[in-house]
Homo-oligomer: A and B are copies of this chain.
Amino acid sequence: MKKPPLIATLEAGGTKMVAGLATGPDGILAREKIATTNPEETMGRLVEFFKIAVGEYGEVDALAVGTFGPADLNEKSPTYGCILETPKAGWAGTDLLGPLRRVLGGVPAVFETDVNAALFGEATWGAAQGLENAAYFTVGTGIGGGILINGELVHGVGHPEMGHMRVSRHAEDGYAGCCPFHQDCLEGLASGPALEERWKKGAEEWSPDHVAWEIEADYLAQACLNVLMIAPPERIILGGGVMHQAQLFSLVRARLAELLNGYLAYEELRGDLGSFIVPPSLGDDAGLLGCVALGQRFILPPQAR
């Protein structure tokens, strides 16, 4: 049997980077967390990690990167593989893909958003396994979103920025919103910092029946509804730190059912929406495995996928 392709992976976050070398869920050969400080230092450590890993495990077949944004995913662009304008000091314009690809001998490379990569991992081995159409929100310090349609991750002019869609304000919510660009967009009203600023203390101190969760669920349900009306997924995964409040799942499902009000009688939308709105299932491995899946898919011929 031919040995499975070896994929170099990078989850690039604003706080930390996770570099890896893997063949699949049961073949994570190496993994290293590296703090995201300045580009020179961080990129230097990443290059070093991959040099050592290749020395130990042999040549890789592909490189796959899932990055924080905004990032240039357009292969035809002169800044393909770079971080674009970002408030993160020093990183705007940094070429993330180029240096890593060079140290790996110019292998085929895939460059995606972190959320799209995590979604692709869930669609390959996790909570959206086998689905051709799925969406993924990560609700934490910010709100990010990824979307898969007809088996392909969605780009366009740039990439999805689902945290910045507009939602309708909850009647009991007097909080102004915290998005520096849009104030009361989804992220401005429903990210972790919005929750903390609105209620003046940490989520761990609120009871599960605090009105905070009802308001939060309303915004997340609106976000799910809008995705459903624009690019209808078969399932929506809600992940990120805020979703560790497990009571949110049933609140979001119930509110989404109210908002739908019987419209769209698809099988996926019947019942309690328990299999339509779900948590991720790959946990901390989602990003790394998403990159492995993207790398494999990119280098294997269609019939072997």
Q: Which residues of A contact B (CB under 8 A)?
A: 70, 84-85, 132-133, 145, 147, 149-150, 152, 154-169, 181-182, 184, 222, 225-234, 259-266, 268-269
A157 touches B266 (CB 8 A): yes
CB within 8 Å for A158 and B266 given contacts A169-B168, A259-B166, A261-B181: yes
A160 touches B265 (CB 8 A): no
A231 touches B147 (CB 8 A): yes
11 more A-B residue pairs beyond the given contacts A159-B232, A162-B230, A227-B230, with a C-beta to C-beta distance below 8 A: A149-B152, A149-B231, A155-B232, A157-B268, A165-B226, A166-B222, A166-B259, A167-B168, A182-B263, A226-B230, A230-B230
Residues of B with C-beta under 8 A to A226: 165-166, 226, 230
User: Separation in Å of the A145 CB from the closest CB of chain B?
Assistant: 7
Measured in the bound complex, the distance between the Cα atoms of B268 and A152 in whole Å is 23
A229 touches B162 (CB 8 A): yes
User: Separation in Å of the A144 CB from the closest CB of chain B?
Assistant: 11
A154 touches B268 (CB 8 A): no
User: Separation in Å of the A51 CB from the closest CB of chain B?
Assistant: 35
Most buried by B among A154, A229, A262: A229
A166 touches B168 (CB 8 A): yes
User: Which chain B residue lies CB-closest to A72?
Assistant: B266
B165 touches A168 (CB 8 A): no
Measured in the bound complex, the distance between the Cα atoms of B228 and A152 in whole Å is 18
User: Which chain B residue lies CB-closest to A226?
Assistant: B165
Residues of B with C-beta under 8 A to A228: 157, 161
Measured in the bound complex, the distance between the Cα atoms of B263 and A181 in whole Å is 7
List 16 contacting pairs A-B, 8 Å CB cutoff, sorted by A. A84-B265, A85-B265, A147-B231, A156-B231, A156-B232, A156-B234, A157-B228, A157-B266, A158-B232, A160-B230, A161-B229, A161-B263, A161-B264, A163-B229, A181-B263, A230-B231
Residues of B with C-beta under 8 A to A156: 132-133, 149, 231-234
Measured in the bound complex, the distance between the Cα atoms of B186 and A259 in whole Å is 13
Measured in the bound complex, the distance between the Cα atoms of B70 and A84 in whole Å is 40
Residues of B with C-beta under 8 A to A233: 156-157
CB within 8 Å for A230 and B145 given contacts A133-B156, A156-B133: yes
User: Separation in Å of the A273 CB from the closest CB of chain B?
Assistant: 12
A149 touches B158 (CB 8 A): no
Measured in the bound complex, the distance between the Cα atoms of B132 and A145 in whole Å is 21
